[in-house]
């Protein structure tokens, strides 16, 4: 799908991968980008960057766990920017501290609800709209952790494995709705999610991996998302964006 003159929705857009993808969509010629997150100040910053890159921006505080909030986001997008045909379902929360199995029940529920339920709801509510608009593309953000066992992140890994399988199960939607659903699986990305909310220190269980691997930039993931959107042959495709060991240049 050509991005020029399209309208897109990006969740988790206040920082990191979501912000990078929103900016990449604007630079690729998107007419408008709707930005969703629970971080209102971060959304404002992303909106300013998107507009500076030449696209209209709509910043809409949204909790992706809430179907009514998602439906409102989609309605507001259509009203302000036009019907959207691109969705980057990117909102997610990290393992954080403490790790599995010391995590609270509340945090585990949040991991599942944001990382997996939010992706499923986002697609379900977008499908009929995209079908009426002539088709579309949904790109979900999973993780290499979805197919790599990281015991301290067991619950997080399970949510990302669920996103991968959900994406694969959406293959028939290309024929029934004209909607391609794909998935990008980042490795270790240098975003605020790797750090403690107070002080900015690396999360303890991340430090060894961070020291061994060259962290990816959010722009690396955004480039993979753009490639999936533009490749009309990409149906239920799951793409890894992997790290290289520190000191070794990417191939």
Residues with catalytic roles: 156
Please choose, from the candidates 195, 202, 241, the residue with its C-alpha nearest in 3D space to the C-alpha of residue 218: 241
Show the 3-state SS of the chain: CCCCCCEEEEECCCCHHHHHHHHHHHHCCCCEEEEEECCHHHHHHHHHHHHHCCCEEEEEECCCCCHHHHHHHHHHHHHHHCCCCEEEECCCCCCCCCCCCCCCHHHHHHHHHHHHHHHHHHHHHHHHHHHHCCCEEEEEECCHHHCCCCHHHHHHHHHHHHHHHHHHHCCCHHHHHCEEEEEEEECCECCHHHECCCCCCECHHHHHHHHHEECECHHHHHHHHHHHHHCCCCCCCEEEECCEECCCCCC
Tokens 């909607």 — which residue?
A: 179
Please choose, from the candidates 35, 38, 20, 33, the residue with its C-alpha nearest in 3D space to the C-alpha of residue 92: 38
């Amino acid at each position: 799908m050509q991005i020029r003159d399209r309208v897109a929705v990006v969740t988790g857009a206040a920082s990191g991968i979501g912000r990078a993808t929103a900016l990449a969509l604007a630079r690729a010629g998107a007419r408008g980008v709707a930005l969703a997150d629970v971080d209102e100040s971060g959304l404002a910053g992303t909106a300013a960057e998107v507009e500076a890159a030449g696209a209209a921006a709509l910043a809409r505080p949204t909790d992706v766990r809430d179907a009514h909030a998602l439906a409102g986001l989609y309605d507001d997008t259509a009203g302000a920017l036009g019907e959207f045909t691109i969705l980057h379902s990117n909102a997610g929360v990290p393992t954080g501290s403490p790790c599995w199995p010391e995590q609270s029940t509340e945090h585990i529920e949040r991991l599942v609800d944001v990382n997996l339920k939010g992706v499923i709801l986002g697609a379900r509510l977008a499908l009929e709209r995209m079908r009426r608009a002539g088709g579309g593309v949904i790109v979900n953000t999973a993780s290499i952790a979805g197919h790599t066992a990281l015991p301290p992140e067991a619950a997080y890994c399970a949510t990302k494995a669920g996103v991968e399988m959900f994406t694969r199960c959406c293959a028939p939607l290309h024929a029934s709705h004209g909607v391609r659903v794909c998935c990008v699986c980042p490795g270790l990305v240098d975003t605020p999610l790797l750090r403690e909310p107070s002080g900015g220190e690396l999360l303890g269980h991340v430090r060894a991996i961070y020291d061994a691997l060259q962290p990816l930039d959010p722009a690396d993931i955004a480039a993979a998302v753009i490639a999936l959107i533009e490749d009309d042959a990409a149906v239920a495709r799951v793409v890894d964006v992997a790290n290289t060991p520190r000191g070794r240049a990417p191939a």
